[in-house]
Structure 1
Amino acid sequence: MSIVYTCRHCGHVIGEIAEKNIDTSILGWDKLNEEEKREMIQYKENGDVQIQAICENCQESLGHHPEYHELDYFIQ
Structure 2
Amino acid sequence: MRLIYVCRHCNSYLGKLDRTSVNETRLGLTSLTPEEQADIISYNLNEDVVYVKTICDYCQEAIEAHPELALLHNPLQ
Q: TM-score range by the shorter chain?
A: over 0.9
Structure 1 equivalent of residue 32 of structure 2: 32
Report SS of the residue matched to 2:20: coil
- State the percentage of identical aligned residues: 33
Instruction: Give the letter for the 1:4 counterpart.
Output: I
Could you list the per-position Cα deviations for residues 15-52 of structure 1 after superposition, in whole angstroms to 9, with x for gaps in the alignment?
A: 11024253211100121000000011001121100001
* Runs of at least 4 residues off by over 6 Å: none
Structure 1 equivalent of residue 76 of structure 2: 75
Report SS of the residue matched to 1:25: helix
TM-score (norm 1): 0.92
Instruction: Give the letter for the 2:9 counterpart.
Output: H
Bigger strand share: 2
RMSD between aligned residues: 1.1
Unmatched 5+ residue regions in structure 1?
none
TM-score (norm 2): 0.91
